[in-house]
Amino acid sequence: MRDPQDARRQFLRNSVNTAAGLMLLPAISNDVFGAVKTVVADQPFVPVMPPRIKFSVIGMNHGHIYGQVEAVVRGGGELVSFYAKEADLNAAFAKRFPQAKQAKSEAEILDDKSIQLILSSGIPDERAPLGVRVMKSGKDYMVDKPGITTLEQLAEVRKVQKETKRIYSIMYGERMENRATIKAGELIKEGVIGKVVQTIGLGPHRMNAPTRPEWFFDKKRFGGIICDIASHQFDQFLFFTNSTKAQVVASQVGNVNHPQYPKFEDFGDAMLRGNGGAGYIRVDWFTPDGLKSWGDGRLTVLGTEGYIEIRKNIDIAGREGGNHLFVVNNKETTYVDCSKVELPYGRQLVDDVLNRTETAMSQEHCFLATELALKAQKNAQNVSAIS
Domains of the chain by range and CATH? 53-172 (3.40.50.720)
pLDDT at 48 over 80: no
pLDDT of residue 47: 61
The answer to whether residue 83 scores a pLDDT higher than 90 is: yes
Name 341's Cβ contacts closer than 8 Å, sequence gap at least 6.
41, 43, 179, 180, 182, 183, 323
Distance CA 235, CA 233 (A): 5
Q: Rounded to the nearest 10 degrees, how much is the dihedral formed by the CA atoms of 227, 231, 229, 70?
A: -130
In the chain, the amino acid numbered 117 is L
Average pLDDT over the chain reads 90
CA–CA distance, 140 with 142 (Å, rounded to integer) = 7
Question: How many Å is the Cα radius of gyration of the chain?
Answer: 21
| Half-sphere CA count of 325, side-chain side, radius 13 A | 25
Phi and psi at residue 308, in whole multiples of 5°?
-120, 135
266 contacts 254 by C-beta, under 8 angstroms? yes
CA distance 311 to 179: 11
| C-alpha to C-alpha distance for 315 and 189, rounded to whole angstroms | 25
- Kind and range of the H or E element at 303? strand 298-303
Q: Which pLDDT band, with edges at 50, 70 and 90, does 385 fall under?
A: low
- Binning pLDDT at 50, 70 and 90, where does residue 49 land? confident
The amino acid at 70: E
> Which phi-psi region, left, alpha or beta, contains residue 356 (left: φ > 0; alpha: ψ -120 to 50)?
left
Cis peptide, bond prior to residue 146, ω within 30 of zero: yes
pLDDT of residue 44 exceeding 90, the answer is no
30: pLDDT strictly greater than 50: no
Interval 321-360: pLDDT, tens: 999 999 999 999 999 999 889 999 999 999 999 999 999 9
45: pLDDT confidence band, cut at 50, 70 and 90?
low
Overall average pLDDT of the 30-56 stretch: 72
Res. 35 pLDDT band, cuts 50 70 90: low
Q: Is the pLDDT assigned to residue 164 strictly greater than 70?
A: yes
Please determine, for residue 78, whether its predicted confidence score (pLDDT) is greater than 80.
Answer: yes
Greatest alpha-carbon pair distance for the chain in Å reads 68
Distance CA 11, CA 83 (A): 50
Give the integer Cα–Cα distance in Å for 312 and 297: 5
| CB-facing half-sphere around the CA of 164: CA atoms within 13 A | 21
Task: Reduce the DSSP state of residue 77 to 3 states and report it.
Answer: strand
Give the CA distances from residue 366 to residues 141, 142, 300, in Å, rounded to whole numbers and listed in that order.
12, 11, 21
Interval 239-243 mean pLDDT = 98
Residue 41's pLDDT is what? 82
At residue 37, the pLDDT reads 80
Q: Could you read off the pLDDT of 103-142 as tens digits, one per residue? A: 999 999 999 999 999 999 999 999 999 999 999 999 999 9
pLDDT at 229: 95
HSE, side-chain direction, 13 A CA sphere, residue 159: 9
Q: To which H or E segment does residue 65 belong? A: helix 64-74
What's the pLDDT at 43?
Answer: 61
Our separate counts of H helices and E strands in the chain read 14, 16
Name the pLDDT band for 16 (thresholds 50, 70, 90): very low
Phi, then psi, of 91 in degrees rounded to 5:
-65, -45
* CA distances, 341 to each of 43, 44, 53, 307, 315 (Å): 5, 7, 24, 20, 18
pLDDT, average across residues 170-196? 96
Specify the length of the chain in residues: 387
Helical (H) or strand (E) element with 376 = helix 363-378
User: Strand pairing partners for 334?
Assistant: 37, 327
List 143's β-bridge partners, or say none.
120, 170
CB 161 within 8 A of CB 363: yes
Q: Which pLDDT value is given to residue 81?
A: 98
Q: What is the DSSP secondary structure assignment for residue 216, as one 8-state letter?
A: G
The mean per-residue pLDDT over the stretch 225-233 comes to 97
Exposed, middle or buried by CB within 10 Å (0-12, 13-18, 19+), for 339? middle
Position 195 pLDDT exceeds 90: yes
Instruction: Tell me: pLDDT of 33 over 70.
Output: no
